[in-house]
Amino acid sequence: MKILVIGSGGREHALAWRLSQSPKVSRIFVAPGNAGTATEEGLENIPLTHIPDLVAFAQKENIAFTIVGPEAPLALGIVDQFRQVGLRIFGPTQKAAQLESSKDFAKQFMKRHAIPTAASETFTDPTLAHAYITQHGAPIVIKADGLAAGKGVVVAMDEVQAHAAIDHMLVDNRMGTAGARVVIEAFLEGEEASFIVLSDGRNALALATSQDHKRLKDGDQGPNTGGMGAYSPAPVITPALHAKVMREIIMPTLNGMQKEGLPYTGFLYAGLMISPTGELNTLEFNCRMGDPETQPILMRLKSDLVDLIEQALDGKLHETQAQWDSRVALGIVLAAHGYPDHPRQGDVIKALPANSEEAHVFHAGTTLKNTQIQVSGGRVLCVTALGHNVQTAKKIAYAVADHIHFDGLQMRRDIGHRAIDRK
Ligand SMILES: Nc1ncnc2c1ncn2[C@@H]1O[C@H](COP(=O)(O)OP(=O)(O)O)[C@@H](O)[C@H]1O
Ligand SMILES: [Mg+2]
């Protein structure tokens, strides 16, 4: 069978690579893909991004099913458009994708269904928003309602910062429509983890747990990024906590969406905050897998990913289990000069090591120019390795990463520190 993967990042490279290993697959198309998906055995890039073109391609090529990597096409209704013409596609409809595309929708939904999350209120009027901040004080969190590519949240440690964020979003309209409505919510303390499931609308199949590293610099310093590394499993998610997340967050979400007439199909990602006393809260939902969490999660997946997705498309996840490698997987992001604010393009990537059973270099912001692989985006590569514990996985991943060179390369040296500190 032929499968289509939508997107061009490290997440999509990992999805396409894992799918390509199924004996059922003849070819994986990646739209538009990157230099990694262009050169990986069994994968082929197609230079399409507009939804009607993708629909036409899937029809012409007789694609068995399509998987959507990023949130933007989901929020534009790619799933609705594929389904309208009878094409199989794994993801939420445009309306169900509001769990990610509108933070206000997600918060109201969680309140309606008693899903644990920080207390909040939504504002469009700056005067009322300022008054709310004055009343509640800092620390406090301001979130743009719409999609903002990871740049829509201000964790304000003092009131001055909080008021400035309101002016930035509601008065100066610096974030456009995404920031024309804001959620203001209580600050939560604790450790974050990513909890991702496959959903068929009724049933959920949990993927392995993971944690990422959002800050640019070692020791969780510097600006926020899309993610500088991740590992799986996340030791903070104990078996008891895992059961609690399924019981208090995942299942009430799927049941609630179904009751409201918006059955949720696709990957569902709950961003968790676990307080020092073990209290559980939902920070947000994403309607897709995380990047870079996908890379270590899929390194550990032993089941056939095509089977899992087909079971989900057929509504049979209650009959499905996933097998995981007992090893730890750890991925290190290699980012471009100037990332995250002004990533430089065009630097030439030299000496990419060969992939092996225990280490894989997933591409993100790369492009093939003649025979050269060049930097074309902020996060460039994610070197992901398996090891018998987190220290070993880390050692193997850095040994591979240290062989890679391009001018201006940035990477953290402490990926995995939370899991290592815990031991
Ligand atoms: N209520 C909160 N308390 C403390 N930190 C928060 C809170 N909400 C979000 N954050 C921090 O901000 C980051 C981004 O917020 P999130 O809701 O995940 O939005 P997005 O991923 O869309 O930017 C989180 O990963 C977390 O570190
Ligand atoms: Mg987030």
| Protein residues placing their CB within 5 Å of the ion ligand 2 | 271
Poorest-confidence range of 24-38, 77-91, 409-423? 409-423
Encode pLDDT of 135-148 as tens digits.
Answer: 999 999 999 999 99
Residue range 359-364: average pLDDT?
Answer: 98
Domains of the chain are 2-92 (3.40.50.20), 125-180 (3.30.1490.20)
Return mean pLDDT, the chain.
97
pLDDT at 290: 96
- Mark residue 219 as left, alpha or beta (left: phi above 0; alpha: psi -120 to 50; beta: remaining): left
Residue with CA closest to ligand 1 atom 22:
150
- For residue 320, pLDDT beyond 80: yes
Please tell me if the CB atom of residue 271 comes closer than 6 angstroms to any atom of ligand 1: yes
CB–CB of 268/196 below 8 Å? yes
High-pLDDT (> 90) share of the chain, %: 95
Cis peptide bond N-terminal to 296, omega within 30? no
- For residue 423, pLDDT beyond 80: no
In angstroms, the CA 421 to CA 418 distance is 5
Please tell me the distance between residue 404's alpha carbon and the centre of ligand 1 in angstroms: 32
pLDDT at 422: 82
Amino acid at the residue 377:
G
- For residue 419, pLDDT beyond 80: yes
Beta strands at 65-68 and 43-45: parallel, antiparallel or unpaired: unpaired
Please tell me the distance between residue 284's alpha carbon and the centre of ligand 2 in angstroms: 6
Please tell me the distance between residue 372's alpha carbon and the centre of ligand 2 in angstroms: 34
State which of 283, 287, 289 you would mutate to test the pocket of ligand 1, scoring each by most atoms of that ligand within 8 A of its C-beta: 283
CB–CB of 231/58 below 8 Å? no
High-pLDDT (> 70) share of the chain, %: 100
Distances 6 to 13, 18, 25, 72, 167 between C-alpha atoms, Å: 10, 14, 17, 11, 36
Please tell me the distance between residue 308's alpha carbon and the centre of ligand 1 in angstroms: 30
Encode pLDDT of 236-264 as tens digits.
Answer: 999 999 999 999 999 999 999 999 999 99
pTM of the shown model: 0.97
Residue with CA closest to ligand 1 atom 18:
284
Handedness of CA 149, 152, 154, 155 (dihedral sign): negative
